[in-house]
Amino acid sequence: MQRTSFAGMACSVARTLDVVGEWWTLLILRDAFLGTTRFDEFQRSLGIARNVLTARLQGLVEQGIFEKRRYQEHPERFEYLLTGAGRELFPIISSLIAWGDRWRPGGLGPPLLLVHATCGHAMTTQPACSACGEVLRLEDIRPQPGPGAAPD
């Protein structure tokens, strides 16, 4: 079944989902943020079919999320390294972790803690205003059309 592309929509959420909106993609990114770089490591961690993983990694390379780099010639093997664009997806994954810990707990507590290396404390992502630093709440946001908004 062919997926509908959102790439042409005048919506940043839709265009982002066109890149990362498939569930395997988010799990691949999660593993990459935890240090996974090699095909076999992704496959072992996720239990994903090799053909599906190949397609997802190829798509992420094409979209500029990963850089594919050969680490062995015979047999030829590659690792997948996050690019700047890929690394900037970290707040999305960490927000999904925090949401899942709060609203879909497994009963034994969080399966993964994200520890801030600077202070040593477990942390969660909280969106903050880029201008004043205040933690954001939905009630504090007022959307308005930007320069790339659709005319209607």
Q: What is the pLDDT of residues 19-56, one digit of tens each?
A: 888 889 999 999 999 999 999 999 999 999 999 999 99
Q: Is the dihedral of CA 33, 136, 7, 100 positive or negative?
A: positive
Between the alpha carbon of residue 133 and those of residues 23, 68, 93, 109, 127, the distances in Å are 31, 36, 21, 30, 9
- For the cut 60, the answer to whether the pLDDT of residue 148 exceeds it is yes
CATH code matching the domain that covers 12-87, chosen among 1.10.8.60, 3.90.550.10, 1.10.10.10, 3.60.15.10: 1.10.10.10
Average of per-residue pLDDT across 67-79: 95
Confidence category of residue 98, pLDDT binned at 50, 70, 90: very high
Task: Domain ranges for the chain, please list them.
Answer: 12-87, 90-140
* Alpha carbon distance 43, 142 (integer Å): 42
